[in-house]
Amino acid sequence: MQDVIIVGGSFAGLTAAMQLGRARRKVTVLDTGRNRNRYASHAHNILGHDGVPPGELLDAARKQVLGYPTVDLIEAKAIDVSGEPDNFAVATDGGDTINARRLILSYGIADEFPDIPGFVDCWGKTVIHCPFCHGYEVADKRWGLLYSSPMSLHGPALYANWTDDITLVLDGHHIIEEERHKLDRRGVRIVDGRLAAIHHNGGQVTGITLDDGTELGLDALYAHPRNRPSSDLHTRLGLEMKDTPTGTMITVGDMQATSRPGIYAAGDLAMAMHSVTFATNSGSLAAMGALQSMLL
Ligand SMILES: Cc1cc2nc3c(=O)[nH]c(=O)nc-3n(C[C@H](O)[C@H](O)[C@H](O)COP(=O)(O)OP(=O)(O)OC[C@H]3O[C@@H](n4cnc5c(N)ncnc54)[C@H](O)[C@@H]3O)c2cc1C
C-alpha cells in the first residue's frame, strides 16, 4: 500500500512527489509525458529557470524526484480509479493496479485546437495564449487577438504595455457598439471576418487570411482555445467541478482538497489561471494536504 498515488507527473505532480518523497512517504507517480507546454521551445517567468526548454525542466525534476528512494515513477496512463480514503485503487493501461491511502490528481488539461491551417504549427511559438509566458519575445510587434469569449475584450488593455499595434479578429462573433468604441479609443483595429488560415515561417506568424479574403500582416496571434481535462478520472470519482472561461476545473478548497475526502487536485486541472509556478505551488499544497490528512 502506497501513501499517495499521483496521477500526472509534470510540474504539479512532480512537485507534490518531491515534497512527499522528502517526507519519506511512499509515492507512485503515473505519467504519460504530455505536459501542456510541450509545444513551446522555452518556458518563461519561472524564477531561476527563465528561458529553459520545458522538457529540460521536467527531465531535471524527474531525476531529482527519483533521487528519493520512496518515490516511484511509472510511465503509464491511469485508466480507472475507485475506493475510499486509506484504500484507493488506480488501474493503469499497463495492467497494474496500485493501492494508496490518498490520491493527488494532477493530469492537466488538453487544448482543443481549431481546424485552421497553421494553428498547430505556430502554437506555443507565435500563436500564444499568455503574454506573461511568451509576450516579451514579441513585444512592440504586430499582435492579433482572436476573439473567443467576452473575456477576449479584456485582452487589449492587458497587452497595451507590450505593444500598441493590436488587431482584434472577431472571428464571426458580434460585439456591442459600446465595446467597439472603447477599443477604437484604445487604437485597437477590429476586423469582422472569420480566421481562415495562419501564414508562418517555421512557426513564426507572418500574417493571417480571413474567410472574406482579407489579408493581414501579423507577428503574433493570441488565441484561447477551449480545453478539457486530460482524463475522465474526476468524473468516475464524482468530483465537484466548476466552469472556467475556457473549460472546466476540479473544485478545490483549502490545501487543494477536492469534494471527496482523501482526494486532492493540483495544477491546471484545479485552477482557472495557468502557469508553471501556479502548478508547482498547488502541487506543493496538495502534498501538504494529503500528508496532514494522514496524520489524523
Ligand atoms: C503553449 C503553451 C506554452 C506555455 N508556456 C508557459 C511558460 O512559458 N511559462 C509558464 O509558467 N507556463 C506556461 N504554460 C502553462 C503551463 O504549461 C501549465 O500551466 C503547466 O504545464 C501545468 O502543469 P500541470 O502539471 O498542471 O499539467 P501538465 O504540465 O499539462 O501535465 C499533466 C501531466 O499529466 C499527464 N497525464 C494526463 N493524463 C494522464 C493519465 N490518465 N495518467 C497518467 N498521466 C496523465 C500528462 O501526460 C502530463 O505529463 C504554457 C502553456 C501552453 C499551452
Provide the residue-wise pLDDT of the chain in tens; the chain has 296 residues.
Answer: 999 999 999 999 999 999 999 999 999 999 999 999 999 999 999 999 999 999 999 999 999 999 999 999 999 999 999 999 999 999 999 999 999 999 999 999 999 999 999 999 999 999 999 999 999 999 999 999 999 999 899 999 999 999 999 999 999 999 999 999 999 999 999 999 999 999 999 999 999 999 999 999 999 999 999 999 999 999 999 999 999 989 999 999 999 999 999 999 999 999 999 999 999 999 999 999 999 999 96
* CA 36 to ligand 1: nearest atom: 30
pLDDT, position 40: 96
Nearest to 279 by CA among 1, 43, 111, 97: 43
Which listed CATH number (3.30.1330.10, 3.40.630.30, 3.40.50.980, 3.50.50.60) goes with 119-222?
A: 3.50.50.60
| Fold held by 2-111+226-295 | FAD/NAD(P)-binding domain (3.50.50)
pLDDT, position 296: 67
Ligand 1 neighbours (beta carbon < 6 A)? 7-13, 30-37, 39-40, 43-46, 77-78, 106-108, 111, 123-124, 129, 133-134, 230-231, 267-269, 274-277, 279
Given a contact cutoff of 8 angstroms between Cβ atoms, the answer to whether 275 and 134 are in contact is no
Q: Which residue has the cell 458580434?
A: 174
